[in-house]
């Protein structure tokens, strides 16, 4: 979906932009995270029977699975096609998208100014 963005310079000057925002539905995230967590537990238990590997795989696989499941649950969505007037040089530019994070620093392709991209109305 199309979202309004705030493009902010380090000195606080800001301008408006738009970007394509995508986030998986909460139910889909919970399902995926549960699958990853459950599967890593099963694989971890199964690896107890592998000689030598049983020293580290039984705890390493569930730990990695748990970390990945947590990252799936805390997904804040992704932005693409980020466009707007750069608050530095005021030119209409396109910034690189990526995972939504706070702060989300992107460099202006025209003037090289670091710009913090913020989604105006974050989804609940
Ligand atoms: Zn610029």
Could you report the per-residue pLDDT of 20-34, keeping only the tens digit for each? 999 889 999 999 999
Name the pTM for this structure. Answer: 0.71
Name the average pLDDT for the chain: 92
Burial of 11 (0-12, 13-18, 19+ CB in 10 A): exposed
Ligand 1 geometric centre to CA of 108 (Å)? 5
Tokens of 55: 């020293």
Q: At residue 7, does pLDDT exceed 90?
A: yes
Query: Residue 121 pLDDT > 90, yes or no?
Result: no
Summary count for the chain: helices (H), strands (E): 2, 7
Distance in Å, CA 19 to ligand 1 centroid: 17
Q: How far is the CA of 91 from the centre of ligand 1 (A)?
A: 6
pLDDT of 115 over the 80 cut: yes
The residue ranking higher by pLDDT, 103 or 121, is 103
Distance 57 CA to ligand 1 centre (A): 49
- Share above pLDDT 70 across residues of the chain, in percent, rounded to a whole number: 98
Q: Across residues 90-99, what is the average pLDDT?
A: 92
DSSP single-letter state for residue 25: -
């Amino acid at each position: 979906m199309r979202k309004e963005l705030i493009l902010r310079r380090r000195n606080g000057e800001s301008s408006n932009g738009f970007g394509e925002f995508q986030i998986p539905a909460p139910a889909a995230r919970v399902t995926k995270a549960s699958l990853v967590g459950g599967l890593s537990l099963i694989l971890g238990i199964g690896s107890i029977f592998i000689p030598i590997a049983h020293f580290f795989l039984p705890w390493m696989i569930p730990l990695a699975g748990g970390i990945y499941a947590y990252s799936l649950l805390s997904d804040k969505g992704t932005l693409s096609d980020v466009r707007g007037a750069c608050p530095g040089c005021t030119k209409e530019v396109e910034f690189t998208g990526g995972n939504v994070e706070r702060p989300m620093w992107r460099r202006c392709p025209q003037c090289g100014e670091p710009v913090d991209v913020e989604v105006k109305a974050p989804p609940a």
